[in-house]
Amino acid sequence: MTLTVITREAREAFKLESVILLYGGAGKGYGSVHRVAHKGDKLFPGEGHPVTVRALRETFKVLAPEAVPKAEFIPATVLAQSPDVIVWWMPPAMRNVWFDQKELGGQRSASVPVPGLVFAVCRGDWFVYAVSGDQRPTQESPLFRAPFYNVWESGRICAGNVSVPQGSLAERTDLWEKAFFESWFTHSNVDKLVKYRGGATAFWKRMLSGGFGQSFPMGTLVPLDTTLQGLINGANNRKD
């Protein structure tokens, strides 16, 4: 049995070499790989072998070599990584922020102190959270709501028309941070963005005016009922 594939470049014929059989039932699954014997016009699957991770990798190498994970340099700020998930830490720093918000006086920009942040990119969605301290967070580190506009209660960033980086995630964490801080913050997506009298508007008016100096006021952060490990677990279990 052959399969003919026609592309703009060529007409190619592929011979059936093996089949993968998938079995399901009672909430469980099983797979086996069988070499195929050709006898005239008939096909005969040979003895089956359990599907292994190695066998799946070899399959991907044939079907989609560009999708096979390759060894790459991992920055020290990366906290967790899989083929479609990356979680990383940005230490506390002074960063330029840009606002386009009527209650804050229209378009405004300033260099302000920001807390340590944990970013996550998960199957196309983009998240940000705050953490305490200036040391690399651990699995038990509690997460706080990121005190920025354009961020939903779940931590998901409302990207709007921001152009997000493409390609290898681990090599572009700085570009994701740049895209976040160079976007216009236009609206608060949660009722309680920070713990501050007067709410988010009063907080950011003072922040943009330099009222907090060079250090972010950690007491204004809203704690979340999860940790860094909880974030990683949620990313791993997230459905497309």
Q: What's the rounded Cα separation, in Å, for the pair 119 and 127?
A: 6
The verdict on 85 and 161 lying in the same domain is yes
pLDDT at site 120: 93
Q: What token pair was written down for 32?
A: 């086996």
Q: Please, are residues 28 and 41 in contact by the beta-carbon 8 Å criterion?
A: no
* 107 falls within a domain: yes
Q: How far is CA 210 from the centre of its chain?
A: 32
Same domain, 87 and 194: yes
pTM of this prediction? 0.74
72 within domain boundaries: no
Q: Please say whether the beta carbons of 44 and 36 come within 8 A.
A: yes
H or E segment at 184? strand 184-185
Long-range contacts of the stretch 162-169 (C-beta < 8 A, 24+): 164/126, 168/72, 169/81, 169/86, 169/121
Q: What is the pLDDT of residue 16?
A: 74
Based on the domain organization, do 55 and 90 belong to the same domain? no
Q: Hey, is 130 helix, strand or coil?
A: strand
Domain count, the chain: 2
Tell me if 3 sits within 8 A of 16, measured CB to CB.
yes
User: Residue-wise pLDDT tens for the chain (240 aa)?
Assistant: 444 444 444 556 677 777 788 888 777 777 888 888 877 777 777 788 887 767 766 666 666 665 566 666 777 899 998 877 899 999 999 999 999 999 999 999 999 999 999 999 887 788 999 999 999 999 999 999 999 999 999 999 987 667 777 655 666 888 889 989 989 999 998 999 999 999 999 999 999 999 999 999 999 999 999 999 999 998 888 765
Please say which residue of 67, 99, 120 terminates a domain.
Answer: 67
Residue 131 falls within a domain, yes or no? Answer: yes
Residue at a domain's end among 67, 98, 113: 67
Answer whether residue 138 is part of any domain.
yes
Question: For residue 71, what pLDDT is reported?
Answer: 65
Whether 150 and 222 share a structural domain: yes
Enumerate residues 6+ apart whose C-beta is below 8 A from 143. 118, 129, 130, 131, 223, 224, 226, 227, 228, 230, 231
- Residue 127 domain-assigned? yes
Check residue 8 and give its pLDDT. 46
Same domain assignment for residues 217 and 103:
yes
- Amino acid 237: pLDDT: 80
CA 101/CA 208 separation, integer angstroms: 12
- Output phi, psi for 116, to 5 deg: -60, 140
The closest of 75, 193, 76 to 135, measured between CA atoms, is: 76
53 with 97, same domain: the answer is no
Rounded Cα–Cα distance for residues 219 and 209 (Å)? 19
Instruction: Identify whether 190 is part of a domain.
Output: yes
Structural domain contains residue 73: no
- Name the token pair of 107: 């378009």
Tell me, yes or no, whether 122 and 188 share the same domain: yes
What range defines the domain where residue 149 resides? 78-237
pLDDT at 1: 45
At CA 19, angle to CA 14 and CA 24, rounded to 5?
A: 145
Do residues 216 and 207 touch, judged by C-beta distance below 8 A? no
- Residue 67 pairs with which residues in a beta bridge? none
